[in-house]
């Protein structure tokens, strides 16, 4: 099943389903949003059973609706850094001996086709296509053997990063990762049965039509069970939490000379089975 959320004609964000034939239906009659309570109570399976008898009653969703982030705001976004050997090499870093983790503010979440807004004083905003996963049950000190049972689904993520904030302003990476619009998610969350082996997925990103990232999750340094188990030693993972598993080579920071996003640029990205997203880069504008 592929879970979407979209903005309806009343301006409300409501849940839906992206079906195999490409059509979309509104499942707001199910009565639940895709949030912690939904994922923590076996929501995808309950929704699938509900659809067996109610799908025909669900309104169709037009192809031109604005897609929202496919999950309601989670309690946290945890990211794994330097998880592809080629990416570590291009940034001049030594491959880590254990997972590098950092946080990304949940206020950074935006829809898959919403613009990336350059924050005030930004000079080095970068792109990062990533496979992210959504946690489906409370997890603390889980073993690697138990870890995959904690996955509710997978989602495409652009881990937008302001490198000057991240690396030149002192402190932790979170400062360069958390501006509004810096976490486009979607278009959908795919349940594990839709994906097969998440360690064999092609992921790519284009900047203004030019392919700059093209890799495969088979190049992970630390696989998904390792990442989930490791993170759960340091914090409790809640249903709906997002873990982003790192980006491959091809980011602007690794180019010689460096190349960063500017107003008017268009970023397109995708992962096998998880669809594509598109973000236009816009300038920050202060609100009254």
CATH of the domain at 115: 3.90.850.10
288 located within any domain: no
141, 28: one domain: no
Q: Looking at the structure, do residues 133 and 40 belong to the same domain, yes or no? A: no
Residues 61 and 149 in one domain: no
Strands 2-7 and 67-68: antiparallel
Q: Is residue 63 part of a domain?
A: yes
CA dist., res. 147 & res. 139, Å (int): 8
Please give the Cα distance from 90 to 143 (Å, whole number): 32
Regarding whether 239 and 111 lie in a shared domain, the answer is yes
Examine residue 259 and state whether it is found in any structural domain, yes or no: yes
- In this structure, are residues 265 and 175 in contact, taking their beta carbons and an 8 Å threshold? no
pLDDT of the residue at 92? 77
pLDDT, residue 286, reads: 79
Q: What is the pLDDT along the chain (288 residues), one digit of tens a residue?
A: 999 999 999 999 999 999 999 999 999 999 999 999 999 999 999 999 999 999 999 999 999 999 999 999 999 999 999 999 888 778 777 889 999 999 999 999 999 999 999 999 999 999 999 999 999 999 999 999 999 999 999 999 999 999 999 999 988 899 999 999 999 999 999 999 999 999 999 999 999 999 999 999 999 999 999 999 999 999 999 999 999 999 999 999 999 999 999 999 999 999 999 999 999 999 999 775
216 and 91 co-located in one domain: yes
Residue 288: its pLDDT value, please? 56
Question: Domain check: are 110 and 30 in the same one?
Answer: no
- Using the 8-state DSSP alphabet, how is residue 232 labeled? T
Q: Where among 31, 46, 68 does a domain terminate?
A: 68
Domain count, the chain: 2
For residue 270, what are the domain limits? 77-283
Give domain status of residue 269, yes or no: yes
Do 56 and 192 fall within a single domain?
no
The answer to whether 27 and 16 have CB atoms below 8 angstroms apart is yes
Regarding whether 259 and 129 lie in a shared domain, the answer is: yes
Query: Do 187 and 55 belong together in one domain?
Result: no
Domain final residue pick, 43, 68, 93: 68
Q: What is the pLDDT of residue 88?
A: 77
Co-location of 43 and 172 in the same domain: no
Residues 173 and 209 in one domain: yes
Which of 22, 41, 68 terminates a domain? The answer is 68
Q: Does 142 fall in a domain?
A: yes
Q: Which residues, including other chains, have CB under 8 Å from residue 172's CB and lie 6 or more apart? A: 102
* pLDDT at site 94: 83
Which residue spans within 141-273 are E strands per DSSP?
151-158, 161-162, 183-190, 202-207, 210-216, 242-244, 266-271
Same domain assignment for residues 63 and 26: yes
Distances (CA, A) of 271 to 132, 260, 286: 10, 22, 34
């Amino acid at each position: 099943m592929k879970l979407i959320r979209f903005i309806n004609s009343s301006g409300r964000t409501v849940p839906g389903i992206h079906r195999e034939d490409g059509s979309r239906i509104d499942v707001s009659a199910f009565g639940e949003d895709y949030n912690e309570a939904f994922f923590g109570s076996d929501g995808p399976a309950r929704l699938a059973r509900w659809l067996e008898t109610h799908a025909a009653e669900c309104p169709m969703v037009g192809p031109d609706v604005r897609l929202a982030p496919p999950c309601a705001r989670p309690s946290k976004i945890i990211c794994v850094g330097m998880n592809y050997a080629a990416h570590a090499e291009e940034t001049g870093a030594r491959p880590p001996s254990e997972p590098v983790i950092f946080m990304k503010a949940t206020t950074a979440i935006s829809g898959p086709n919403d613009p990336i807004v350059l924050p005030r004083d930004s000079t080095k905003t970068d792109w990062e296509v990533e496979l992210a996963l959504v946690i489906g049950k409370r997890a603390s000190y889980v073993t690697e053997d138990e870890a995959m049972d904690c996955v509710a689904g997978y989602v495409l993520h652009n881990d937008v990063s302001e490198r000057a904030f991240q690396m030149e302003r002192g402190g932790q990476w979170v400062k360069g990762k958390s501006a509004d619009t810096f976490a486009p998610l979607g278009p959908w969350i795919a349940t594990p049965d839709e994906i097969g082996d998440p360690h064999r997925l092609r992921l790519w990103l284009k900047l203004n039509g030019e392919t700059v990232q093209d890799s495969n999750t088979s190049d992970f340094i630390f696989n998904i069970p390792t990442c989930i188990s490791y993170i759960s030693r340091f914090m409790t993972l809640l249903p709906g939490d997002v873990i982003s598993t790192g980006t491959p080579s091809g980011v602007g920071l690794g180019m010689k000379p460096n190349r960063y996003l500017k107003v008017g640029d268009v970023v397109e990205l995708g992962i096998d089975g998880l669809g594509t997203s598109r973000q236009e880069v816009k300038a920050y504008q202060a609100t009254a």
